[in-house]
Amino acid sequence: MHVTIYSDGSSRGNPGPGGYGSVLHYTDPSGKLHVKELSQGFDCTTNNRMELLGVIAALEVLKRPCEIDVISDSQYVVNAFNQHWVEGWLKRDWKNAKKEPVKNADLWKRLLKAKEPHSVTFHWVKGHAGHPENERCDKLATAAADGEGRIKDEGFQA
């Protein structure tokens, strides 16, 4: 089963109110496209945390192992895998190259667990450049950041 995940995060201030938006695409064997949209707002968070949570939320809704393409405008998320930053963090017990604790380690660990059963490839797309699904994710993320029903980002430390 192949799924494409589009994801974006937003923060009004950094830190500030934030949200993520994700869109999942799956084409079934008959050729029918299935689309699922996810979003959530948070009272106080950062843009990078929302970028991570968008991918995490999308992975966590999948019920069986899949082949996944993650499309994100976050170089933070994409480069962590494509440039093997995560591998270095794991080798250094969640320390970065400067021997400092990795920021957002709680979410990186959650992301690793969420992607574990899947085969995941990360792709970067330029944000705000007219990519329809990325633009939709941005709208979902900003609406969640600005809207009612925001929740506390339990892992955020100011």
Which residues have a catalytic role annotated? 8-9, 51, 73, 128, 138
Is 138 annotated in some ligand binding site?
Answer: yes
d(CA 83, CA 63): 28
Alpha-carbon distance of 142 to 101, in angstroms, equals 29
Q: Is 106 flagged in the annotation as binding?
A: no
Residues in the chain: 158
Q: Which residues pair with 23 in a beta bridge?
A: 6, 37
Whether the ω angle into residue 65 lies within 30 degrees of 0, i.e. cis, is no
Task: Please check if 73 is assigned to a binding site.
Answer: yes
Binding residues for Mg(2+), by number, are 8, 51, 73, 138
